[in-house]
Amino acid sequence: MTSPDYYPLENTPKIEGLISRHFEGESDYPKMLVIFTNLHAAGQYSGETTIESLRADYSNLSNTDPQDDLIFFEIDSKTVAFCRFYWERQVKTGQYTYGINVRVDPSWQGKGIEQSLIAWGETRGRYYASVLPEGNNGAIVTFCRETDQMKYNILMEAGFTIDRYFHSMSRPLIDLPERSLPEGITVRPVLPKDFRKIWDASNEAFMDEYGAADPTEEWYQSYLASPNFQPYLWQVAWDGDEVVGSVQNYISLQENELEDRRRGYTEGISVRREWRGRGVASALICRSMAMFKAMNMDEVTLTADTQNPTGAMRLYTNLGYRPYMTLLELHKSLECLNS
């Protein structure tokens, strides 16, 4: 058994046997999955994370240094927490997002580990703010479920404030609406030669939305490797050879089994600017719902930015989606870190 690759860290909680270490690659995926599984059992996380999804994400990291921007906590050789730091630069504003994703096993929450990982992430934020062009134009960002009161309180005490709300919304597959595509717009099966074109069109459409950053090749490779990459379920609208918009549907078999339900995801909904306002998105979503009903799914779900400028919330509500969970996006200014 090899010794852990220690990650020097100050101000760790005084827990006997606690060490901090660097990311160890493939061997860490099963350890991370145990934490996600325990978070799911505690009602703090969805059940769709798998070894395959972890591998897709962590073998294609973008704007994250695997050596210095990932940290793991162990107690008596058992991994109990980890944190990823990443950065992105928003296209519209030029502001940086310095993201901190903290995951702590439920049995070790509230013992000071969260505070230590947040402080570590803020240190990484200060570093990148000092080396990236105009790096001081940005904020530390993290996420928390509205129902996760302990994590919320810890973030508030650390100086974070709520900046944005995201609703997870679902709809039972009964009394389905119907919408027609505009004349001249067609839907056809997705072929491998279409993957990059659809990806590019989707990213172009999302550039109008909050937080959009220039996509990287690592994002694309992670996208292709994800278990949720299921192009045989997609609904993609075409105007000749031009991608108009898409709904990149998927089914999480893992989550459905854990939750004992039959749910389809109507996610990745996008329409390019010149085709908006003609009912393309609503038609593609209705086609997606009909498809999932034919597959014996019971419901569909999606996540929406409540402040989306394109009117997405109104569209989803009109099609029968209703919120069932709220995710909070919390910010902390870089000025707070230096005060």
Identify the pLDDT of residue 311.
81
Q: Would you give the DSSP letter of residue 256?
A: H
Confidence of residue 310 (pLDDT cuts 50, 70, 90): confident
Read off the pLDDT of each residue in 27-44 and give the average, rounded to a whole number: 96
How far apart CA 60 and CA 315 sit, in angstroms, is: 33
CA 98 to chain centre: 15
Reported as a pLDDT band with limits 50, 70 and 90, residue 338 is: low
Q: Which residue has the tokens 């974070």?
A: 160
Q: What is the pLDDT of residue 93?
A: 92
* pLDDT score of 339: 55
Which pLDDT value is given to residue 1?
Answer: 54
3-class secondary structure, 44:
coil
Q: Using a pLDDT cut of 90, give the percent of the chain over it.
A: 91
Please say whether the beta carbons of 35 and 85 come within 8 A: no
β-pairing, 299-305 vs 263-265, is parallel
**Helices 217-225 and 51-58, packing angle to 10 deg:** 170
Domains in the chain, start-ordered, CATH in brackets? Answer: 18-159 (3.40.630.30), 168-323 (3.40.630.30)
Compute the mean pLDDT over every residue in the chain, rounded to the nearest whole number. 95
Output the pLDDT for position 11: 83
Distance, in Å, from the CA atom of 66 to the CA atom of 80, rounded to the nearest integer, reads: 19
Higher pLDDT, 284 or 9: 284
Give the SS3 label for residue 30. Answer: helix
2: pLDDT strictly greater than 80 = no
Other residues' Cβ atoms within 10 Å of the Cβ of residue 8 = 5
Whose CA is closest to 54, among 18, 90, 84?
84
Q: Please check whether residue 327 is in contact with residue 168, taking contact to mean a CB–CB distance below 8 angstroms.
A: yes
Q: Which neighbouring-strand residues pair with 85?
A: 100
Q: Residue 54 corresponds to which amino acid?
A: L
Percentage of residues in the chain with pLDDT exceeding 70?
Answer: 99
201 and 236 Cβ atoms separated by less than 8 Å? no
Q: Which two tokens stand for residue 77?
A: 């050789």
Q: Would you state the pLDDT for residue 194? A: 98
pLDDT at 209: 86
DSSP state of 250: B
- Give 211's pLDDT tier (boundaries 50, 70, 90): confident
Q: Note the pLDDT tens digit of each residue in 101-156.
A: 999 999 999 999 999 999 999 999 999 999 999 999 999 999 999 999 999 999 99
Instruction: Measure CA 47 to chain center.
Output: 13
Edge-to-edge strand order for the sheet containing 242-247? 186-187, 235-239, 242-247, 270-271
pLDDT, one tens digit per residue, over 225-249 is 999 999 999 999 999 999 999 999 9
What does the pLDDT average to over 291-304?
97
| Residues 111/154, Cβ–Cβ less than 8 Å | no
Residue 337 pLDDT > 80, yes or no? Answer: no
**pLDDT band (50, 70, 90) for residue 32:** very high
pLDDT digits (tens, 9 = 90+) for 243-286: 999 999 999 999 999 999 999 999 999 999 999 999 999 999 99
Each as own residue / partner, the long-range contacts of residues 128-135 (CB below 8 Å, 24 or more positions apart, any chain) are 128/87, 128/96, 128/98, 129/96, 129/98, 129/334, 132/87, 132/89, 132/96, 134/94, 134/96, 135/96
Mean pLDDT for the stretch of residues 20-38: 97
**Segment 282-306 mean pLDDT:** 97
- Residue 309: pLDDT band by 50, 70, 90 thresholds? confident
What stretch of H or E contains 312? helix 312-318
User: Of 215, 229, 225, which Cα lies nearest the Cα of 62?
Assistant: 215
pLDDT band with cut points at 50, 70 and 90 for residue 308:
confident
Phi, psi for residue 139 in degrees, rounded to 5 = -150, 155
Output 336 or 211, whichever has higher pLDDT. Answer: 211
